[in-house]
């Protein structure tokens, strides 16, 4: 049963094969039995889940059930959940019981979903390996010596191990797409502003975007239907009409124009990853697409620009953690400055402190023009490259990551080598564009992800393309050895 | 340019972060490697390029100046480290 997709489980509920309560109990039992291997959950919310399942069963009996009614999901632990610890995987918020729900949490709750718990991640979403979590790293179900990616590593690991049929994630520089690629699942980063940021613990506000992670594109569309939409509580929420993200899944791909950026297939790309991505592109040609080489000349500059903009915004956002209003407070502060400095010094982990310092430096007097302003100019150049290419082709395809999953500890002592893993994903956040990672093969027994990049608000098209690929291939159905379903 | 120990101490002070003296060298090393990474930007000519702050160049949305929130002081202060009579407690700042 645990190999079923969200869409298949929805049919089972509809037919009455099982109730939401039975489904929820089964997943809770599975998490309790197996998650010690993966450390993908920070908090399991058994009591609330069973109450939500009971309510969903009652709603269904009364004839009030929507597409997601009674389906279990889990949230990345940076989405505020009322009455439940929301830690952002930081000691700073280890004691934080959120007094309110994030907009996406309340929307998914209103749609009838059951929340199994809160998922592991890099501390404050800062990382590409899940190793910066205060609760220890989540592990990759394909090889538990390997990282699941990050920052939404717990979300990806939990879906890959079939501990939840779907999860929410957030993506500031690749944090949905990279772990989805490394764990062999599907993950969508929507256009900036499509999904509300309200109640999502902020990292870099001009880059942060929430999105769905699941086995299939169809499942991602079902969840996005509930997550997306204008929210007056988010000052950068896009004021656009809602759409049904599952409506165009079955459109044929004949005539689709795909661009392959030559910069994405450089020598730095792992040969096994390159081969699988090329095979995937060939599959699209069989489905009627045409392929041409394109150029995104400023691709390499996305790393330096991102690693100024994101830390700068983070240093500003994380100034709210002051040991006064909520979160960790140091013992026996002698004065206010000591309270601030020790609460922050003791409450934040190494990578978070590092990024706060990079940001504080980049924004300090005398350096603003050389760093922040320069990075924002490069950001526009990167965006203009994308816009020009997307005027010529329908979508851009390439690898989601330059390598498959790496070993725990392999890159944790060298932050710059870790940052390089984000080369193909960061640029979309800088430009605000949507992207989806789809399992497209394996190399040395580890999954490879194909990234599909579309124009602004082209989520339906991306889901359509990914779904058609998943109708023709079965990479998304592969289950890690050792994961019993 | 390269940051030394005193630069790192000054940045940590600006960011109100207590850093153990024993850790300053490792922060200084990693900050220097990050700064040499980001310095790749300096070789790019960006003259005349308008900085991009919002991907869709949106401007701040305004709303009517009306009360929309109800008072939730107790719920919001329930997670505070120290409160008294509805106020947040901090160490004495005025002698």
Neighbour-count burial for A197-213, b at 16+ CB within 10 Å, e otherwise:
bbbbbbbbbbbbbbbbb
Residue of B20, B46, B79 with shortest CB distance to A377 = B46
Whether residue A322 is predicted with pLDDT greater than 90 in this model: the reply is yes
CA distance B74 to chain A (A): 10
Rounded mean pLDDT, A413-425: 90
Q: What is the pLDDT of residues A341-395, one digit of tens each?
A: 999 999 999 999 999 999 999 999 889 999 999 999 999 999 999 999 999 999 9
pLDDT for B1: 61
Whether residue A65 is predicted with pLDDT greater than 70 in this model: the reply is yes
Q: Which of residues 196-215 of A touch B (CB under 8 A)?
A: 206
Q: What percent of chain A has pLDDT over 90?
A: 95
Per mean pLDDT, which range of A238-242, A257-261, A323-327 is the poorest? A238-242
Residue of A339, A348, A433 with shortest CB distance to B90 = A339
Residue A355 in contact with residue B31, Cβ under 8 Å?
Answer: no
Please tell me if residue A333 touches chain B, with a CB cutoff of 8 Å: yes
Catalytic residue status for A343? no
Rounded mean pLDDT, A196-206: 97
Whether residue A318 is predicted with pLDDT greater than 90 in this model: the reply is yes
Torsion of CA B81, B83, B87, B89, to 10 degrees: -70
Chain B hits for A302, CB-CB cut-off 8 Å, are none
Tokens 């400023």 correspond to A298
Rounded mean pLDDT, A186-211: 98
The ipTM of this complex is 0.95
pLDDT for A443: 98
Q: What percent of chain A has pLDDT over 70?
A: 100
Question: B63, A232: Cβ pair inside 8 Å?
Answer: yes
pLDDT for A354: 97
Q: What is the pLDDT of residues B24-81, one digit of tens each?
A: 999 999 999 999 999 999 999 999 999 999 988 888 889 899 998 899 999 999 999 9
Please tell me if residue A367 touches chain B, with a CB cutoff of 8 Å: no
Here the tokens at position A144 are: 């538990």
Question: A315, B35: Cβ pair inside 8 Å?
Answer: no
Task: Give the separation between CA A69 and CA B37, rounded to whole angstroms.
Answer: 48
Residue A10 in contact with residue A67, Cβ under 8 Å?
Answer: yes
Question: B61, A345: Cβ pair inside 8 Å?
Answer: no
Chain A hits for B95, CB-CB cut-off 8 Å, are none
Reported as half-sphere exposure (CB side, CA atoms, 13 A), residue A174 has a value of: 32
Residue A401 in contact with residue A424, Cβ under 8 Å?
Answer: yes
Q: What is the pLDDT of residues A250-289, one digit of tens each?
A: 999 999 999 999 999 987 899 999 999 999 999 999 999 9
Rounded mean pLDDT, A38-54: 98
Angle, to 10 degrees, between the axis of helix A217-227 and the axis of helix A103-110? 110
């Amino acid at each position: 049963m645990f190999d079923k997709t969200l869409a298949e489980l929805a049919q089972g509920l509809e037919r009455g094969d099982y109730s939401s309560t039975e489904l929820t109990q089964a997943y809770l039992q599975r998490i309790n039995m197996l998650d010690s291997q993966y450390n993908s959950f920070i908090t399991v919310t058994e009591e609330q889940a069973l109450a939500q399942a009971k309510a969903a069963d009652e709603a269904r009996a009364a004839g009030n059930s929507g597409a997601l009614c009674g389906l279990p999901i889990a949230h990345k632990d940076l989405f505020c959940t009322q009455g439940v610890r929301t830690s952002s995987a930081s000691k700073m918020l280890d004691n934080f019981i959120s007094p309110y729900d994030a907009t996406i949490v309340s929307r998914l709750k209103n749609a009838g979903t059951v929340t199994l718990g809160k998922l592991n991640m890099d501390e404050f979403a800062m990382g590409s390996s899940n190793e910066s979590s205060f609760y220890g790293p989540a592990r990759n179900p394909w090889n538990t010596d390997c990282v699941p990616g990050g920052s939404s590593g717990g979300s990806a690991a939990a879906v890959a191990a079939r501990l939840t049929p779907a999860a929410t994630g957030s993506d500031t520089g690749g944090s949905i797409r990279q772990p989805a690629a490394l764990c062999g699942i599907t993950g969508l980063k929507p256009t900036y502003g499509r999904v509300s940021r309200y109640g999502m613990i902020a990292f870099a506000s001009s880059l942060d975007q929430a999105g769905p992670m699941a086995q299939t594109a169809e499942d991602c569309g079902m969840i996005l239907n509930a997550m997306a939409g204008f929210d007056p509580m988010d000052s950068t929420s896009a004021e656009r009409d809602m759409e049904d993200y599952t409506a165009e899944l079955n459109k044929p791909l004949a005539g689709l124009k795909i661009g392959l950026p030559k910069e994405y297939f450089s020598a730095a790309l792992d040969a096994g990853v390159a081969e699988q991505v090329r095979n995937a592109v060939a599959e699209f040609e069989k489905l009627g697409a045409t392929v041409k080489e394109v150029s995104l000349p400023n691709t390499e500059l996305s790393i330096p620009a991102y690693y100024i903009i994101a830390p700068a915004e983070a240093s500003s956002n994380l100034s709210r953690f002051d040991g006064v209003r909520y979160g960790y407070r140091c013992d026996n502060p002698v004065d206010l400055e000591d309270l601030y400095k020790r609460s922050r010094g003791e409450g934040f982990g190494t990578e978070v402190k590092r990024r706060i310092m990079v940001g504080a430096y980049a924004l300090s007097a005398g350096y603003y023009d050389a760093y922040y302003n320069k990075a924002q100019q490069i950001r526009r150049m990167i965006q203009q490259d994308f816009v020009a290419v997307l005027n010529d082709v329908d979508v851009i395809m390439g690898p989601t990551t330059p390598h498959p999953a790496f070993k725990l500890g392999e890159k944790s002592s060298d932050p710059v080598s870790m940052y390089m893993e984000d080369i193909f994903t960061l640029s979309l956040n800088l430009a605000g564009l949507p992207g989806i990672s789809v399992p497209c093969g394996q190399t040395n027994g580890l999954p490879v992800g194909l990234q599909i990049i579309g124009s602004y608000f082209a989520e339906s098209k991306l889901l359509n393309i990914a779904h058609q690929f998943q109708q023709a291939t079965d990479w998304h159905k592969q289950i890690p050895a050792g994961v019993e379903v | 340019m390269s940051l030394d120990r005193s630069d790192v101490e000054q940045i940590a002070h600006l960011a109100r972060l207590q850093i153990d003296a024993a850790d300053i060298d490792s922060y200084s090393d990693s900050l220097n490697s990050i700064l040499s990474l980001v310095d790749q930007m300096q070789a790019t000519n960006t003259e005349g390029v308008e900085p991009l702050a919002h991907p869709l160049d949106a401007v701040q949305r305004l709303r009517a100046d009306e009360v929309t929130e109800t008072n939730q002081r107790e719920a919001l202060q329930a997670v505070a480290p120290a409160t008294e009579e509805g106020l947040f407690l901090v160490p004495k700042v005025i002698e």
